[in-house]
Amino acid sequence: MSPALLTLVQGAIVVALAPLAPGLVRRFKAVLQGRQGPPTLLPYWTIATLFRKETVVSQSASWVFLAAPTAVLASSLLAACVLPLVSRGGALAPLSHLLAVSGIWMLGSVFLVLGGLDPGSAFGGMGASREMTISAFLEPALVVSLAALAIASGSPAVDAMMDVAGRGLLLRPWLLPAVGGLALVALGENARYPVDNPATHLELTMVHEAMLLEYSGPHLAILELASAVKLATFALLLANLLVPAGLLRAGAGPLAAAAAVPAAIAKLAVTMGGLALVESGMAKLRLYRLPEFFFGALFLGLTSLGIGLMAGFK
Amino acid sequence: MNAAAVARSIAPDAALSPPDEGRLVVPVALGDWEAAARALHADHRLPLDLLWATDDRAASGSFGLHAAFALDASHEWIELVTAVPGADPVFPSITPRVMAAHWYERAVQDMFGLTAAGHPDPRRLVHHENVPPGTWPLRKDFPWDAKLPWAAEPHPLATVEGEGVFQVPVGPIHAGVIEPGHFRFSVAGERIITLEGKLFFTHKGVEKLLEGRTAAAAMPFVERVSGDSAASHALAFCQAVEAVARCRVPERARVLRVLAVELERFTMHLHDVANICGMGTGFTLLAAGGFRVKERLQRLSARLFGNRFFRGFVLPGGTARDLGAPELDDIEATLDGAWAEASGLFQIGLESDSLLDRLETTGVLSRDAAWAYGAKGIAARASGLDRDSRRDHPHAAYGTLPLRVPVRTEGDVDARVRIRLDEMAQARALVARGAAECRRSQGAPWSAPCEPADGDALGWTEGWRGQILDWVRFRGGVIDRAVVRDPSFCNWPLFGELGPGNIVPDFPLCNKSLNLSYSGTDL
């Protein structure tokens, strides 16, 4: 399998499995809370249904509103292609420089914010302002955590960080805080507890969903898919950092590619189970408490980075 | 001081009839209206619990204006009455002195066309911008089925302007399955500066529809004023009807009524705690578990009363049916099971720092504000106002059953949750005592004839949300005028106090902690 094909296969697998991630977390949460819950595959149906529905656009919205979902999806897809999720060493792997990756996600956030602001509704504006505040706190934490891993792997590419994943982490325990910081960033970036509540109907408390309120039809489907892809990306990245097994390499045959799918599903299931545990056992943080959460993530990353720099660990 | 002594001190010359059914009517001249109200409220520290108007032009050529003040210490009410001339329907507003009157007087302006002279905020309240000027629906000459042309009257909401201040309009249609209400927030960033609600979207003319009906025909309307308080609204209204009819309700029926009202209280408090802790903060485990347990109580209601909302049981003269030993066992077993499971569940929440961090210091209502606005029920008791109509104005069988009224002083969402938990334990104890009482009096009568002819009376109870106070006047066996006051009417304006200073995403939590009824306010 050539590196280019590897990247394509990875992108296809992640997109195909992405709606499973929110489906799984909803299912696990329902089980944990003693509810029956919706079908696990419901997000697939939701997205398919939305694609068939008509789009209603506010009269005060401009082309930005209509273009934003595509840009958001592009950012999610690009991140899903460059990062080591089901394969390593793909054609786009050199693009996975930690600053590039955080920039790609930031780009998605910016377009989401623009899309939320554009129609001029109160909730979109509120969600946009909150999203920008959160992004400003999350970005440094993401960069610092990845930088700590980069010191260990000797390369700023996230793809190369798989060298120090799994057993490598146990050999370098000073990296564990950075992985913890990355997990906290993942909660924030994906609008999960304790930062945001993806299941709420309370408009006044929403962050991510508030920016989506004005969207309908295919545009909403694209945004739903984009956030599912982003959730799956973070889930697989974190899972691979802990257990880098089952990653496709260049030269792998079709059989290996087929085996990568159940491995990815297993990783999604475990991370979503953990997410469901977090989301069932606590309340959402008060909005003004969020900086404490983000600084926690930042300092976890800084701890690893500091130890790594000072001790010159390789 | 009892009611008679207080009345003598404020109106030495008034011709007083002896107190009747816990109520003393004190007629005053229109010119003395404001001074009398001020003396009762400011000098005697009596809370205003109801203010209403009547259209008496057919009999006397004037409108009646009534205000009920509570003497909790001596278990009495003072009803101030004055006449507002029909030709010049203007009365002095008491709102500058008795702030709790502010919404009542605006409602009287809208519904009767009486002008509250000197009201600091005389905007429309019940009427929206589409109601033409000169529409006074509760006047006798206004047909109940009148079709109104569409108007575009000014209906401004209080807002703040300035650099960096934004208006956030919310509703009337919300994302959740709740009733319609519009809220206008003025915010600087996330901080709420002011907020005002626009309610009365579900105005359905209940008070008008009650006129001309018999007591029995009125019950279905009264029970549906607020669907979550069917039993307590029925109880308050029935007691007013029974007071007019001079009906002695059998002892057993009084205890049975307490059972129904306390079951309703337990059910709704269970719902609220689950809703506040679960949905309000996102601790969904508590919501999922709490709503599941609540379902058992609604099914209990279905088994006992044939519907899931404690309706149709309390009727004028007694109850619709007797409850036998198997049903009493069912009630106790269901309640014990629900309490065991719910208290364990809520314990998880109350031991969670993340939940307490959301509840504590959120939506603080000061004691002074609660007093000034005339807050009712849980909102008042969580802010240090020790009032409970079950103890202060004993009715049904509450005078004979032990009742400890939980009061807290923090005034925040956490205090309102804990008051509910305390009251759930109380409700369970009351039901246990009541059920024992019912087993003892098995076979005793549980209904008496109740034929109201002429006269008026107050009726009240402490519903789960707070004090329900009704006034009803019968003429020739049918209702001439009925006032149904849900505590929500008194508590809605509190949001103007407890909202500002909080951040916007905490407002749903404040809202849920009061859980006010739109329908019960809009009537």
Q: A56-104, pLDDT tens digit by residue?
A: 998 989 999 999 999 999 999 999 999 999 999 889 998 999 999 999 9
**Among B294, B265, B323, which residue's Cα sits nearest to residue B462?**
B265
Q: Do A29 and B284 touch (CB under 8 A)?
A: yes
Of B281, B288, B362, the CB nearest to A35: B288
Coil, helix or strand at residue B20: strand
Q: Please tell me the CATH code under which domain B206-522 is placed.
A: 1.10.645.10
B426-440 burial: b if 16+ Cβ within 10 Å, else e: bbbebbbbbbebbee
Q: What's the gap in Å between the CA of A131 and the closest CA on chain B?
A: 13
Contact (CB, 8 A) for B108 and B132: no
DSSP type of residue B43 = I
Q: Do A193 and B505 touch (CB under 8 A)?
A: no
Closest CA to B40 of B101, B83, B90: B101
What is the secondary structure of B223-237 as a DSSP string? HTSSGGGHHHHHHHH
Name the strands in the sheet holding B48-56, side by side, starting at the edge strand that comes first in the sequence.
B23-27, B76-85, B62-71, B48-56
Encode B284-309 in three state secondary structure. Answer: HHHHHHHHHHHHHHHHHHHHHHCCCC
Subunit contact B505:A122, Cβ cutoff 8 A: no
How many angstroms separate the CA atoms of B513 and B354, rounded? Answer: 17
Give the residue carrying structure tokens 């002008």: B115
B326's CB contacts (< 8 A; 6+ apart) are: none
CB A228 within 8 A of CB A42: no
| Cross-chain CB nearest to B282 (options A197, A203, A288) | A197
How far apart CA B427 and CA B484 sit, in angstroms, is: 24
3-class SS letters over B382-444: CCCCCCCHHHHCCCCCHHHCCCCCCCCCCCCHHHHHHHHHHHHHHHHHHHHHHHHHHHHCCCC
In order of B98, B108, B211, the CA distances from B121 in angstroms are 13, 13, 30
Count of CB atoms situated within 10 Å of the CB of A284: 25
As a whole number of angstroms, the distance between CA B41 and CA B26 comes to 15
Q: CA A169, CA A175: separation in Å to the nearest integer?
A: 6
- CB distance from B129 to chain A under 8 Å? no
Closest CA to B114 of B143, B139, B94, B81: B139
Please give the residue of chain A at the shortest CA–CA distance from B176.
A201
B166–chain A Cβ distance below 8 A for any pair: yes
What pLDDT, on the 0 to 100 scale, is given for residue B282? 87
Which residues of chain A have a Cβ shorter than 8 Å from any chain B Cβ? 29, 32-35, 122-123, 125-126, 129-130, 193-194, 197, 199-205, 279-289
Tokens 């001190």 sit at which residue? B9
One DSSP character per residue, A237-250 reads HHHHHH--TT-B-T
φ, ψ at B5 (rounded to 5°): -65, -40
Taking the C-alpha atoms of residue B109 and residue B125, their distance in angstroms, rounded to an integer, is 9
Nearest Cα neighbor of B37 from B22, B25, B21, B48 is B48
The tokens describing B305, both together, are 């009363």
**B282 contacts chain A (CB < 8 A):** yes
B354 contacts chain A (CB < 8 A): yes
**Distance from A201 to chain B by nearest Cα, in Å?**
5
Question: B292 CB near a chain A CB, below 8 Å?
Answer: yes
pLDDT of residue B158: 82
Q: From chain A, pick out residues whose CB is under 8 angstroms from the CB of B277.
A: 283
Axis crossing angle, helix A217-242 with helix A3-17, rounded to the nearest 10:
110
Q: How far apart are CA A136 and CA B372, in angstroms?
A: 44
CB spacing of B506 vs A286 below 8 angstroms? yes
**HEC assignment per residue over B345-398:** HHHHHHCCHHHHHHHCCCCCCCHHHHHHHCCCHHHHHCCCCCCCHHHHCCCCCH
Region for B476 from its dihedrals, namely left if φ exceeds 0, alpha if ψ lies in -120 to 50, beta otherwise: left
Structure tokens at B142: 């206004």
B190/A282 touch (CB, cutoff 8 Å), yes or no: no
CA distance, residue B212 to nearest chain A CA (Å)? 42
Characterize the bridge pairing of strands B165-170 and B182-188. Answer: antiparallel
Does residue B75 belong to the interface with chain A, where contact is any CB pair within 8 Å? Answer: no
B3-117 is classed CATH 3.30.460.80: yes
Hey, what are B418's tokens?
Answer: 């804990």
The torsion angle over the Cα atoms of residues A231, A237, A238 and A243, rounded to 10 degrees, is 140
| Eight-state DSSP code of residue B505 | G
Q: State whether A204 and B507 contact (CB < 8 Å).
A: yes
Q: Do A194 and B174 touch (CB under 8 A)?
A: no
How close is the nearest chain B Cα to the Cα of A231, in Å?
20
CB contact under 8 A, A285 and B354: yes
Q: What is the distance in angstroms between the Cα of B175 and the nearest Cα belonging to chain A?
A: 5
Residue B130 contacts by C-beta under 8 Å, 6 or more apart in sequence?
B148, B150, B151, B152, B153
Counted across chains A and B, CB pairs separated by less than 8 A come out at 85
Q: Parse chain B into domains and list their residue ranges.
A: 3-117, 165-198, 206-522
Instruction: Encode chain B (523 residues) as per-residue pLDDT tens digits.
Output: 788 888 888 888 777 787 788 899 999 999 999 999 999 999 999 999 999 999 999 999 999 999 999 999 999 999 999 999 999 999 999 999 999 999 999 999 999 999 999 999 999 999 999 999 999 999 999 999 999 999 999 888 888 888 889 888 888 988 778 899 999 999 988 899 999 989 999 999 999 999 999 999 999 999 999 999 999 999 999 999 999 999 999 999 999 999 999 999 999 999 999 999 988 898 989 999 999 999 999 999 999 999 999 999 999 999 999 999 999 999 999 999 999 999 999 999 999 999 999 999 999 999 999 999 999 999 999 999 999 999 999 999 998 988 999 999 999 999 999 999 999 999 999 999 999 999 999 889 899 999 988 999 999 999 999 999 999 999 999 999 999 999 999 999 999 999 888 999 999 999 999 999 999 999 8
Residue A257 pLDDT class (50, 70, 90 cuts):
confident
For tokens 């919205």, what's the residue? A61
The pTM score is: 0.93
Classify burial at B177, counting beta carbons within 10 Å of its beta carbon; exposed 0-12, middle 13-18, buried 19 or more.
Answer: exposed
**pLDDT at position A314:** 55
